[in-house]
Structures are given as structure tokens and as C-alpha cells.
């Protein structure tokens, strides 16, 4: 029985067009882009410069610089720790959403244990030198914007001591798309920096950095059919107050040392080009497949629950820009709650389906999903949920086959708990 991959939020298959773009920089043009003393190195450096300009253009980021990293986790670490450890940083507060990715939440947890490296302000006591972290609640499961930042709670927590606000643009578990504009405006009003974790959103929705008005934006190539081990952090040209977290060599204006991953950069650039070119049609196709899966499951399993924002009706009307939708959800995301059956048990019954019960970064954690708990689900409801990530290479036939297997497995399990 064939395996069907439905875990495209965890990672995606590298597109053949991307592999083709990477191969020359692995074989014939393998030089270090930092070796400016010979032609091979200069050619590699020129490619990196061209890719950088292309990526910034595709992301609509004319006011940003691009720092290449190993992926979004490193980008997030650089944005947060690089900001708070900068010697001129006088603010101490960080705000993050309760439903953010573990890469952000774990940085916040670590930050609280560190001593401030910035200057002590006049009149401050020694106890005031610790960093503060506030976790902002999100809309609950009954809301049309389940998982989005609660703006009222956000406004209450925002103050002139907040150095940075970090929010997730597209939630990796329940697919919620955050409306960034009011958050950005509030941040500007108090002079706080805004970091966006755009890992799941870039390549999946119509995205332009300039429209978000964010200061820092993190992303990974392997989420949009590029290679693993390469990502980026967009940093503002006029606010380069970051202390590097990786030193030794001074590459990338001393913001992130280390030999540049030239094949990865070429691959990320090509992956973003393909995703941008295909976006209008692909986003619509993913919604149709996602809705088809939901309809088949819902019709066969009594009491099935949808986690996260609502999805459109079955008949998706053609739109002028299909990449944009009235939905507040990533097009390929479906998070489903199965009554009276644990998600892990259900996955064991369908080993040929690549699924997950939450973030890949937390798959070894036995605790229920913190995202599902953040929207108000209890432990039993959270443990009974599964995440489906539908992607570029999934077909209608696979969706139907996956639905049939899940329904059969669910019915078998229900016999033991009836």
C-alpha cells in the first residue's frame, strides 16, 4: 500500500525545478562566495547578490536587508536575542502570542533567564535589569478568528518598555492567518519593534513585507518546496541594531558569520520564484483539496470537529485573485478533532499516511498541543486532534484514499471505546 504524504507543514518535497537550479553550485561552480581572489569565488558571490535582490523583490521588501540563516529557527533566535543583547537596547519587554511556534516561545523562555546586557537607565534598580515576557492570549475556538491575537489583550500589554513584539503570521497547526496591520500600527505608536514568523505563510499566500510594516521577518525555504538548511531573516535597513549570535569570519556585514550555503541560496531563490508564479492557481487548488478532505471526513464521522478558523463552503467561487480568500486560514491546512479517539492511536492505524498531531518540532513532546490549549481546548480534545498539511504534489485521488483510510481506522477504533 502506497504512502501518502500529508505533512507539508512540517516540510515539503524539494521541487525538481529547484534541484535543477542548485546542481551547478554543487558541481561545477562550488567555490566559496567569500573567496574574492579568484573568478570562481567572484561568480559565486555574484550569484548570491543576484539571488538576494531577486528574493527581496519577490517578498516585496525594498526597505529590508536579507540575512541568510540555516532556517527560521535560527532567524527567530537572531531577531530576538540579537535585539535584546544589543548594547544600546534599553527596553526590557517582549510580547509573544500564546499560539506562536515553539521556536519563539522557547526563545522567550530563555530570555527570562538572562541578565540584561544593555545600559542601566537612570533611576533603575538592579531588580529592574531582568527581561520581562508577556504571553498574549488568542481568540478561542468559538471565534471566526480562532488562534489570532486578542487585540484588546495586546493593547493592554503593550507599553513603552516593550522592545519587541513577535507574532506568527500563519499558524503551523491550525492555519490561522494573523491580521498584522493593527499590531504594526500599535507597535509604531509605542516605538516597539515587530517580528513576524512568516515560516508557514511565505509561498502560500500573497505576501509583501512592505504591506506588513514589520521590522523583522523570519522564514525557511523547506516550507515552500526548497531545500532544508537555508532560510532568511529580513532586517530593516535603518534599524540594524542586532548583536550577531554566530561570530567568526564577519560574513553578511557581521550579522551572521559562516560560509554561505550557495546551493541552498540558489535553491531558495528558485523555490520562491516557482511558488510566486504558481500561487494564484495553487492556493485555489489546495483549498479545493482541503475542503474535499474535510467534506468526506465530516460526512462519515459523527461529531467531527474543526480546529481553527472556519473554511469556505464546498463550492469555491472564482476570484480575481485566488491567492487571496475570505478565509482566515492557510489554504492547505486542516486540523480535525476526532470524538472519543486519540489522534496518536488513529495515526498508528494508518501508518501509510504521513500525518501529525501538531508541530514537527514538538512531535516528541507527550504533552497536548499548546496551540490547541491556547484556543481553549481541553486535554482530551487536544489529544484527539490531527493536522493535515496538503501540498503541491498531493492529488485528488490521494485525498480520497486518505479519507477512506482514516474513516475505516476511526470506525475500527470506535468499536473499542463504544
Q: Hey, which residues are catalytic here?
A: 361
Contact 208, 59 (CB under 8 A): yes
> Strand, coil or helix: what is 276?
helix
Q: How many residues does the chain have?
A: 418
Residue in the block written with cell 504571553:
135
Cα 352 to Cα 82, 213, 215, 368, 387: the distances in Å are: 42, 43, 42, 23, 15
The CA-atom distances, in angstroms, between 191 and each of 69, 156, 160, 164, 187 are 27, 15, 7, 9, 6
Q: Are 311 and 149 in contact (CB under 8 A)?
A: no
CA atoms of 43 and 53, how far apart (whole Å): 15
| Spatial CA neighbour of 226 closest among 265, 252, 188 | 265
In whole angstroms, what separates CA 157 from the centre of its chain? 24
State the CB neighbour count (10 A cutoff) for residue 132: 16
Helix ranges (H only) for 23-173 are: 39-58, 72-84, 102-111, 151-157
Grid coordinates of 293 = 478532505
193-197/216-220 β-pairing: parallel
**Residue 213: helix, strand or coil by DSSP?**
coil
DSSP 17: H
Closest by Cα among 355, 372, 362 to 306 = 372
Q: How far apart are CA 333 and CA 223, in angstroms?
A: 13
Q: Quick one: DSSP state of residue 252?
A: T
The residues, any chain, with a CB within 8 Å of residue 143's CB and separated by 6 or more, are: none
Amino acid at each position: 500500500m502506497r504512502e501518502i504524504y500529508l505533512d507539508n507543514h512540517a516540510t515539503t518535497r524539494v521541487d525538481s525545478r529547484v534541484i535543477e537550479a542548485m546542481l551547478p553550485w554543487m558541481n561545477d561552480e562550488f567555490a566559496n562566495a567569500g573567496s574574492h581572489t579568484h573568478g570562481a569565488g567572484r561568480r559565486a558571490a555574484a550569484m548570491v547578490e543576484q539571488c538576494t535582490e531577486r528574493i527581496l523583490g519577490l517578498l516585496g521588501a525594498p526597505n529590508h536587508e536579507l540575512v541568510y540563516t540555516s532556517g527560521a529557527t535560527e532567524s527567530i533566535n537572531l531577531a530576538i536575542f540579537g535585539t535584546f543583547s544589543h548594547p544600546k537596547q534599553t527596553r526590557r519587554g517582549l510580547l509573544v502570542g500564546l499560539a506562536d511556534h515553539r521556536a519563539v516561545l522557547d526563545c522567550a523562555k530563555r530570555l527570562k533567564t538572562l541578565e540584561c546586557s544593555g545600559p542601566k537607565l537612570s533611576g533603575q534598580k538592579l531588580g529592574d535589569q531582568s527581561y520581562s515576557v508577556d504571553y498574549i492570549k488568542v481568540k478561542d475556538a468559538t471565534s471566526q478568528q480562532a488562534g489570532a491575537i486578542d487585540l484588546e489583550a495586546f493593547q493592554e500589554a503593550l507599553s513603552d518598555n516593550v522592545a519587541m513584539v513577535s507574532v506568527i503570521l500563519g499558524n503551523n497547526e491550525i492555519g490561522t492567518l494573523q491580521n498584522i496591520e493593527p499590531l504594526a500600527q500599535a507597535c509604531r505608536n509605542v516605538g516597539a519593534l515587530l517580528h513576524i514568523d512568516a515560516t508557514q505563510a511565505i509561498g502560500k499566500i500573497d505576501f509583501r513585507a512592505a504591506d506588513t510594516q514589520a521590522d523583522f521577518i523570519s522564514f525557511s525555504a523547506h516550507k515552500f518546496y526548497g531545500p532544508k538548511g537555508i532560510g532568511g531573516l529580513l532586517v530593516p535597513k535603518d534599524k540594524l541594531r542586532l548583536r550577531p549570535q554566530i561570530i567568526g569570519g564577519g560574513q553578511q556585514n557581521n550579522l551572521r558569520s559562516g560560509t554561505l550555503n550557495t546551493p541552498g541560496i540558489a535553491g531558495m531563490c528558485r523555490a520562491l520564484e516557482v511558488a510566486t508564479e504558481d500561487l494564484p492557481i495553487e492556493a485555489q487548488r489546495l483549498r479545493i483539496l482541503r475542503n474535499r478532505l474535510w467534506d468526506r471526513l465530516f460526512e462519515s464521522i459523527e461529531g467531527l470537529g474543526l480546529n481553527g478558523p472556519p473554511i469556505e463552503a464546498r463550492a469555491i467561487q472564482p476570484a480575481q485573485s485566488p491567492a487571496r480568500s475570505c478565509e482566515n486560514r492557510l489554504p492547505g491546512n486542516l486540523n480535525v478533532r476526532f470524538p472519543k479517539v486519540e489522534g496518536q492511536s488513529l495515526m498508528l492505524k494508518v501508518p501509510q499516511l504521513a500525518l501529525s498531531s501538531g508541530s514537527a518540532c514538538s512531535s516528541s513532546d507527550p504533552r497536548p498541543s499548546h496551540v490547541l490549549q491556547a484556543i481553549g481546548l481541553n486535554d482530551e480534545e487536544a489529544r484527539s486532534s490531527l493536522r493535515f498539511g496538503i501540498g503541491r504534489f498531493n492529488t485528488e485521488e490521494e485525498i480520497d484514499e486518505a479519507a477512506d483510510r482514516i474513516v475505516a481506522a476511526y470506525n475500527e477504533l470506535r468499536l473499542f471505546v463504544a
